[in-house]
């Protein structure tokens, strides 16, 4: 657990997965329709055949969100500052660099970092 000012935090991997998964994945299966026309010598349609192919959508991630979250997590995990747990969360966080504060608060806001109950 990530302990800051006496409060334990953790990364919620399921929320991370939900956050970076593209919205297109929720639309169900991918349906592709093909129309094949058979023409006679004069160019008139003799036969029209429509086929439908349904495939399961492959997993897609939003690359911009993925890269942003990856960078934010990297900042949180690589910040090397002494945190005085006796000060409490607010005062302990106030002494950390701005990059850590923004990263931590953003991940906390989107539910990727959660406080252990």
- For the record, the structure tokens of 42 come out as 């004069």
Mean pLDDT confidence for 56-63: 80
- Candidate from 53-57, 58-62, 111-115 with smallest mean pLDDT: 53-57
Domain residue limits, the chain: 2-21+61-115, 27-58
* pLDDT at residue 94 tops 80: no
* pLDDT at residue 11 tops 90: yes
Given this model, what pLDDT does residue 27 score? 61
In tens, the pLDDT along 19-56 reads 998 876 556 676 778 888 888 878 787 788 888 777 77
* pLDDT at residue 77 tops 60: yes
Q: Where are the beta strands (DSSP E) in 12-97?
A: 30-39, 45-55
Distances (CA, A) of 16 to 80, 92, 116: 24, 26, 16
Task: Please tell me the distance from the alpha carbon of residue 60 to that of residue 21, in angstroms, as a whole number.
Answer: 6
Given this model, what pLDDT does residue 63 score? 92
Given this model, what pLDDT does residue 102 score? 92
Mean pLDDT confidence for 72-92: 76
Q: Which residues pair with 35 in a beta bridge?
A: 50
More confident: 91 or 40 = 40
């Amino acid at each position: 657990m990530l302990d800051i000012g006496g409060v334990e935090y953790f990364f919620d991997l399921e929320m991370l997965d939900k956050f970076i998964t593209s919205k297109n994945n929720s639309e169900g299966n991918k349906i592709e329709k093909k129309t094949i026309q058979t023409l006679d010598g004069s160019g008139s349609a003799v036969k029209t055949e429509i086929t439908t192919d349904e495939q399961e959508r492959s997993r897609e991630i939003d690359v911009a969100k993925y890269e942003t979250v990856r960078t934010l997590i990297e900042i949180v995990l690589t910040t090397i500052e002494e945190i005085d747990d006796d000060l409490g969360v607010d005062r302990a966080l106030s002494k950390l660099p701005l990059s850590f504060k923004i990263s931590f608060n953003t991940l906390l806001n989107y539910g990727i970092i959660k406080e252990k109950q």
